[in-house]
Amino acid sequence: MNTRSIAQPLKAKSRQPTAKATQLLGLTGYTSRLPVAWLVLASFIFLAALSIYVIANYYDTRRDIMARVDAQLINAATSANVIVGKKYHESSEQITPAEFKQKSHALTELARALNVEYVYTMVLKPPYVHFTASSYTREDLKLNRLTRYQDVYSEASITLKSAFHSTEPVFEIAKDKWGHFKSVFIPFVLPDGTTYIAGADLTIHDLESRLQESVMDAAIDASFFFVMFLVVVSLYFMYYKKTLTTDSRTGFGNRIALEQALKYSKSQHLCLSVVWVKELEDIISFYGTEVGDNVMAKVMSYFSEFTHPFEVYRLTTSKIALVTSIENGEHYLANLTESFPCAKPIYDAPHLYVNLCAGVAKGNCALLLENAFLALRQAQQQNTQVCYFDSQLQINPQQQSKNLHLTRLLQSACESDRIIPFFTPRKACHDYADIQYHCTARVLNERGAIIDAEHFYPVMKQPKLRAQISMKLLELCVTRFRKSNHAWSMQLSHSEIADAEYFEYISQILRRYPQPQLITFEFNETDVLKNFSDMSLMMQSLKAKGANVAVTGVNSGFLTINRILKLPLDAICLEASICENLDEDEMLLSSIEYLANHCNAKRIDLIVPCVATSKQAKQLEAAGVARLEGSWIGKASGHL
């Protein structure tokens, strides 16, 4: 079994608590990108709109009810006038009790038919208002509270009296011994100019009951829409949660589902394997996404039979996760990967075969997935089928913090011009007056202390950050050497020279520089071999603009040297550790001499760095080396 040592679980890192709004919605820990804020905003807008609608609807209904009540009262009062008639008032002095009783009974039937409390007619005989006809209720009969002809209405209000002088209906809300009413008074004029009014009353209790019904209707409408809103939101989040946690292509859970399962697992310790399907990206590029997804579904279905009750999860396009209990152990997951039938087609139309690579980890659920990914990366680098997580695979947290601090320091130094150049002399072996200066960058921290290159170069992983420092160094070197005859060099990377903007910047500098032949741009051997064709074209372009080019860090054997020598070079600089065994290794000195002969034949300067003693200098000079660099020649300094 091709595996590594058993993992040592790491301590779980503390996690920040999830926002209360997310907890209330049942989406704790899903993702920070979840639109909870948008949902809250949409809910607020909906509820505000619903409230406005309900209030507007209530007032609209209330207005309709009041309009219907007014129309009802006017209709009742007008009908009362029809029943009583003008002739009744023209002969008011001749009205008999029987006739008054007949009119009162007719008005009582009218009031019941029109669903009002009272209808009546009145005349004004200053300063009093008198009843000429009036309906009555059952309660009035029971209490013997009947109105007689020409009874004085002692509680007549100013509004009532003013109605006798009005030309249109007058409404009033008032209380008297009969109750609390909303009333209407309609004036009518007899041929002799006498005015009488026909009136109708509706109890305020009846009016309020009608308005209360409108409030209930509005509340029912609001409740209905709110319940519908809750149903829609619930269905949305059920669908959203399912979408978040399911890979739509295969139907299996995705990474979010795995993170949730690990977070809420009853067991604090589990075993997890991240499995990489090696050929999947090639399958997708050749046969399409649909075939690739079908292959992944087949692979996941195969493993799901062995991991029950745990599920299989699709993490990325070509990576899946297998989970099992700590009792089964990480070897169980490793055996599953190793026993996968790679020799059997996983897909039949067409016949497709896949090979697997896995990283296995066990321990605390909080760091299980991260540790398994580290193990998988190690397996890919070592070209092994299975690799177990080892705590040594992970960068020390203190180192991570240091890297973050250095990266921020570099960004700050670029923004505030705290990049300074240091110059390392390289002397020609046969002419000590011929000196070339190799330029490297140093960084000043906030307190003005100088940080050496070996401290911050390892964290310069971002091409843009490295390019910013390199561009600043180039600008400083051009300013320093423009008015001198000194030769100088600096190192560039492929990512920098491949940047069109940076390359154009170099081209402009070379066009304006008085002696571009004194500038040498150096490239690391590994970078050159990895991008050989591209680098060859770039070197030719730089030489066409008048600059020199060199390859540094050379130490990869004669076959590679022959390939390097095919490039349009002006110099080759050997690896820094070449001089460590120079005094004891005669074969090494012979190899340097052999390489020097080839370089001299092609007019390429061979440079050897880290020369520490005069003996080494004499040996290298005798071997035909063109230039020497190191502590014996001179250390890097901010001054020439």
- Domain map (residue ranges) of the chain: 59-210, 247-394, 400-629
Burial 369-393 (b: 16+ CB within 10 A, else e): bebbbbbbebbeeeebbbbbbbeeb
Helix ranges (H only) for 366-462 are 368-382, 397-415, 453-456
Number of H helices and E strands in the chain, helices first, is 22, 22
d(CA 21, CA 220): 28
Q: How confident is the model at residue 6 (pLDDT cuts 50, 70, 90)?
A: very low
Cβ-based neighbours of 357, under 8 Å, separated by 6 or more: 275, 276, 278, 337, 376, 379, 380, 384, 385, 386
Beta bridge partners of 627: 428, 607
CA distance 20 to 36: 10
Spatial distance between the Cα atoms of 371 and 394, rounded to a whole number of angstroms: 8
pLDDT above 90 as % of the chain:
25
pLDDT of residue 22: 40
**What is the pLDDT, as a whole number, of residue 20?**
38
User: What gap in Å lies between CA 270 and CA 311, rounded to an integer?
Assistant: 13
Question: SS3 string of 458-484?
Answer: HHCCCHHHHHHHHHHHHHHHHHHHCCC
Tokens (6 digits) for 149: 């002809």
Tell me how far apart the alpha carbons of residues 39 and 601 are, in angstroms, rounded to a whole number.
75
Separation of alpha carbons 537 and 540, rounded Å:
5
User: 214 — alpha (psi -120 to 50), left (phi > 0) or beta?
Assistant: alpha
Residue with tokens 């705290």: 418
Q: Does domain 247-394 have CATH number 3.30.70.270?
A: yes
Among 167, 204, 206, CA closest to 186:
167
Question: Kindly report the CA angle at 153 between 152 and 156, in degrees rounded to 5?
Answer: 140
Fold classification of 400-629 is: TIM Barrel (3.20.20)
What strands lie across the sheet with 170-176, from one edge to the other? 128-134, 118-125, 195-203, 179-189, 170-176
**Minimum mean pLDDT among 395-399, 416-420, 567-571: which range?**
395-399
Token pair recorded at residue 527: 């970078």
Cis check: omega of the bond before 126, within 30 degrees of 0: no
Determine how many CB atoms are found less than 10 A away from the CB of residue 598: 16
Domain at 59-210: CATH code: 3.30.450.20
Cis peptide before 169 (omega within 30 of 0): no
Q: What would the mean pLDDT of 10-18 be, rounded to a whole number?
A: 36
Tell me the mean pLDDT in the region 164-168. 87
Between CA 325 and CA 327 the distance in angstroms is: 5
Beta strands in 498-608 (DSSP E): 519-524, 548-554, 571-574, 605-608
* DSSP secondary structure code for residue 604 in this structure: -
Alpha helices in 85-146 (DSSP H): 86-90, 97-114, 138-143
Q: Give the integer Cα–Cα distance in Å for 1 and 517.
A: 58
Residue 14 pLDDT grade (very low, low, confident, very high; cuts 50, 70, 90): very low
Per-residue pLDDT tens over the stretch 589-640: 888 888 899 899 999 999 999 898 888 889 899 999 999 999 989 998 888 8
CA distances from 622 to 385, 577, 598, 599 (A): 51, 20, 15, 15
Closest to 130 (Cα-Cα) out of 100, 102, 169: 100
Question: Which stretches does DSSP call E strand in 494-556?
Answer: 519-524, 548-554
CA dihedral 45, 49, 54, 55 (to 10 degrees): 100
What pLDDT does 458 receive?
A: 66
SS3 315: coil
φ and ψ of 556, to 5 deg: -125, 20
Residue 471 has a CB neighbour count (10 Å cut-off) of 19
What's the sign of the alpha-carbon dihedral 47, 52, 58, 60? negative
Please give the span between the terminal C-alpha atoms of the chain, in angstroms, as a whole number. Answer: 59
pLDDT higher for 235 or 16? 235
Q: pLDDT tens digits for 59-110?
A: 887 788 788 888 888 998 899 888 888 888 877 677 788 888 888 889 889 8
